[in-house]
Amino acid sequence: MNIQTAVLPPHAEMVRAMLERDTAYEGVFFTAVKTTGIFCRPSCTARKPKPENVEFFAHADDCLSAGYRACLRCKPLDAAAIAPDWVQRLLKAVEADPEVRWSDAQLLAEGIEPLKLRRWFKQHFGMTFHAWLRTRRLGMALGGIKQGASIDHAAFDSGYESLSGFRDAFQKSFHITPGRVAQSEPLLFTRLTTPLGPMIAMAERRGLVLLEFLDRPALTREVEELQNRYGYAVAPGHNAHLQQIEQQLAQYFAGKLNTFTVPLHLPGSEFARQVWSALLQIPYGHTSTYGAIAASLGKPGASRAVGLANGHNRLSIVVPCHRVIGADGSLTGYGGGQPRKAFLLRLENAAVQLTRQLAF
């Protein structure tokens, strides 16, 4: 069994998504045109070929192995979650010297068009590059204050010439004043690459708190709740939990990992935590229903409440809400989009089937 082929959606579904340029299928499959020898994303804006002239692949590498070349318009080799080389070079430069302010003139000197960079960061981080830089510097200031540095030193080390400007920027970014940092918990976030598009991961010292697709409609509400209700100060950064989830996600999508071991921290109501705990008990490659989960919690009439708690899960894939389906077998809702939910279920089922075959 080829696990990559097994995760493809039904043929008719892929034809429909291709003809309608459905962006929900980004990363789910690639289209290869026999008459031109070119392969594309399903959302490519080029003129669509006749369905009989198309074959479908799960990965760009499969298209290349079959002798197809990448479309110059939609650039399927530049995966949606992967930063292009010029962005990666800039990020490495920022990491090497966080003190640099990076004016537009400096960017141009490095061969980077500021407007192009602004658009990329807005699309993939939800903020401009310069806003990201400011937030990153403020995050470093946050860490310094938590370690005992004075507010004055943190302000000037962050490049602010006035304490009032630093305090205003700090409060706007973290929803707390610098003086209240001791009562807050830093929540560091980073952007991750996955075959299904970019994700954002957030973790504090106790564990992973959030893992969501960047295009999830509820993401903004979830982050605001973590800030306003649970007192988190959200800032760009890295820690061991973020490094671990990045590694484990790569193994998961390769069909080589069926149990995540990254520590988790799940702020929420008692009932929501009970539901999320029940989700963690659904075995890899299997599914459950809202009614079955409600019954397992001793509340057989609480199917709707279980569905709401399921929808409020902030840890996609790791807390496997995608394994919950309707009583009639339908996929029902999924914050990351039903095509992604179907992909994840096919991936897990294919890995289970392959494991069984290898056992004989």
Mind telling me the catalytic residues?
321
> Which residue has 């079959």 as its token pair?
66
State how far the Cα of 321 lies from the Cα of 282, in Å rounded to an integer: 9
Residue 38 belongs to what H/E stretch? strand 38-40
DSSP 8-class letter at 190: E
> Which residue has 């209240």 as its token pair?
180
State how far the Cα of 298 lies from the Cα of 294, in Å rounded to an integer: 7
Nearest CA to 121 among 103, 110, 133?
A: 133
DSSP strand pairing (199-204 vs 207-213): antiparallel
Residues 6+ away with beta carbon under 8 Å from 163: 151, 152, 155
Considering only the C-alpha atoms of the chain, give the largest distance between any 2 of them, rounded to a whole number of Å: 70
| Tokens encoding 182 | 């001791």
> How far apart, in Å, are the Cα atoms of 249 and each of 193, 199, 252, 253, 317?
9, 11, 5, 6, 9
DSSP 8-class letter at 180: G
Residues 6+ away with beta carbon under 8 Å from 321: 279, 310, 311, 313, 334, 335
HSE-up of residue 306 (Cα within 13 Å, Cβ side): 25
State how far the Cα of 208 lies from the Cα of 263, in Å rounded to an integer: 6
Nearest CA to 212 among 200, 204, 196?
A: 200
Q: How many other CB atoms are there within 10 angstroms of residue 168's CB atom?
A: 13
